[in-house]
Chains A and B, each alone.
Chain A
Amino acid sequence: MNKFYHTLKTIFLLGWSIFVVFPFLWALSTSFKDANAITSGATYIPWVDFEPSTQGWTSLFTTGSRGINIIGPFIDSAAVTLIASLVSLILGTLAAYGLSRFEYRLGFVKNADITFFFISQRIMPPIVLAIPFFLMLKELGALDTIFGLVLVYVALLLPIAVWVMTDFFAGIPKELDEMAMTDGCTPIGAFFRVILPNSVPGLVVAGMFCLIFGWNDFFFAFTLTFTETQLLPVSIVSLNSSVTPWWSLSAFALISVAPLALVAVVVERYMSRGTMSGAIR
């Protein structure tokens, strides 16, 4: 029975892995094909099924009619996502700590309402925000700039950081803060010396969410930029012409997924709450 279960498990996991990895392999294979190989039916293995071509990859680093240069958009995307995620994480963590540890009251508005206020910003469909954002950035002279996009992305990512971190801090016993204060810390010292070092898993999760949402956003990157600033998801669209260059699109897709995949691999070991065990029984 045990062996049967083990075999079943292995088959299922194998099947699932193939299901998950196959699109990437397919894209990888496609990125080395040329127009002929693409249109001549399903082929998989280079040199065997088709003659590989690097056209898909080289077209991403050339300007002009033969392709686009994605280095600029890549750097813009990375700058906007990293800065916005970092700012959101810092502000979100501070806000979440305040919300989880202190009681705020303004009329009928209490902590839970403030937390909901943050989250509610993600409930609205993006289109509702597009026009106000556009007008505000126009007033600030920040349309089509990295600075403008960072502002908008902070507004979009902050709720995620606040949400994740509020939940995480709620799981850290308040006694830990109190103990730090009885041991000689100021309230701010308690946060930086004790609470923050114990919040790495929460920060990693919140940071990952910010990076994913920021990196993948298309809508605001599309509506709030024109020519000066271009982010990856927008420039991928510009590849599309009368003939869809599947080879370039595939290579592009792999490049745009790579940073997130890399981050996920690096931080995966932090993504557990195990480090809190031993704080309080």
Chain B
Amino acid sequence: MLQIDHLTTADAKVSLDDVSFLFEAGNIYTILGRTGAGKTELLRALMGLNPLTDGEVKLDKENITKRPIRDRNMSLVYQQFINYPHLSVLDNVAFPLRRQGKKKAQAQALASTMLGTVGLGDFLHRRPSQLSGGQQQRVALARAMVKQSSILMLDEPLANLDYKLREQLREEFPRLVSDNEESVILYTTTEPREAMELGNTMIVMHDGKIIASGAPADLFANPPTKDTASVISDPPISFISGFVSNKTLYFGEGQIAPSDGLQLPPDGPVTIALRPNAIERGGDFSAKIGLSEFSGSQTIIHLDFAFGRAIMMVDGIEAFNSGDDLRISIQAEQMMLFAPDGRNITIRDNQDG
């Protein structure tokens, strides 16, 4: 169990701002946030690599805030594939075990087993530089896991891999860490899909703070704030200014917005959030096509409305001409409403309170 209380750092670029959380053993926590959200800073602060200006880190109720890095019983896999260039793959993985005081033969045997687990059993005597990027990252992963430390931290481990390798390692990842039942695993990423796929619990970070946490599906369905909705939506969710007047929802330009099934808040400004699948072809609204791009087997179209910009997604690969007009409809069941302070104030008719 890892508990952090009011972690605060004062780095020039990104700093943590009063971050508290309780991580329980046996769980995989994915920490999702954009670049500069403070994910790496959080891991580095836990590891003792970045100095804290305030706050405490407790491991199994013991305060380890001042403990030297080497005695923290934590491992870290970096975004870059960092290995010891002067050591063979086997010695790379045996390195932490040797520092723990294990005999060379024992350390190498354990390292060899771990390398077999990550699929590098045939590469024991190569140098890291003789491996591909994906293999190098597996070496780093093996070295982090072989220690069996209480906390395993992975800082965007797949970010520098090409698409195919990323998919492959992402699929393998749950199997690779399945033995770490007693550890807390922290996995940072900028990709919502990865965060939802890999974690039991998703933590959303923004501006050096944890802004939401919970089961990935729940967070996706009901993001508590506008920032959370923005971070976890891929393709991006669109935010459009609007207002409620006389129990009617309007877009900013005064055009009536659909609100079937939504309980509207009292009169006043709101932010209307449209998920890409809230917009469908054919309907009352007119939009101009901006950029269109393909994502897998779907097409993402950027639309310009009189009242703002939004993103729409259609199944299949289709060519859309930039500048053309498109008639569309907006599905209220895929819309969310946020208060001016960013709170999610979406209440549907079939929902209580």
Contact = CB atoms under 8 A, between A and B. Distances in A.
Interface of A: 173, 175-176, 178-186, 189, 194, 197-198, 275-281
Nearest to A199: B86
Contact of B86 (A173, A178, A198, A280): A198
11 contacts: A179-B76, A180-B84, A181-B68, A181-B69, A182-B70, A182-B74, A184-B70, A278-B129, A279-B83, A280-B80, A281-B160
A175 B86 CA distance: 15
A182 B76 CA distance: 7
B74 A276 contact: no
A185 B101 CA distance: 11
A222 B68 CA distance: 52
B133 A182 contact: no
B231 interface: no
B84 A182 contact: no
A176 B84 contact: yes
Given A278-B128, A278-B130, A281-B136, A182 B85 contact: no
Nearest to A274: B129
Size category of the binding interface on chain B:
20 to 34
A275 B83 CA distance: 12
Contacts of A185: 70, 99
Given A182-B70, A183-B143, A281-B136, A197 B99 contact: no
Contacts of B128: 278-279
Contacts of A278: 83, 85, 127-131, 136
Contacts, number: 74
Q: Which 10 A-B pairs have the closest CB atoms?
A: A278-B129, A184-B99, A183-B96, A278-B128, A181-B69, A279-B85, A197-B86, A277-B129, A278-B85, A280-B80
Nearest to B130: A278
Given A184-B99, A185-B99, A278-B136, A179 B85 contact: no
A257 B336 CA distance: 81
Given A198-B86, A275-B86, A182 B81 contact: no
Contacts of A175: 78, 80, 82
Given A173-B80, A278-B85, A280-B80, A182 B129 contact: no
A276 B85 CA distance: 6
A181 B70 CA distance: 5
Nearest to B95: A183
B47 interface: yes
A176 B129 CA distance: 15
B134 to A, nearest CB: 11
Contact of A281 (B69, B80, B96, B147): B80
B2 to A, nearest CB: 15
A197 B127 CA distance: 14
A130 B99 CA distance: 50
A279 B82 contact: yes
Given A179-B78, A278-B130, A186 B70 contact: yes
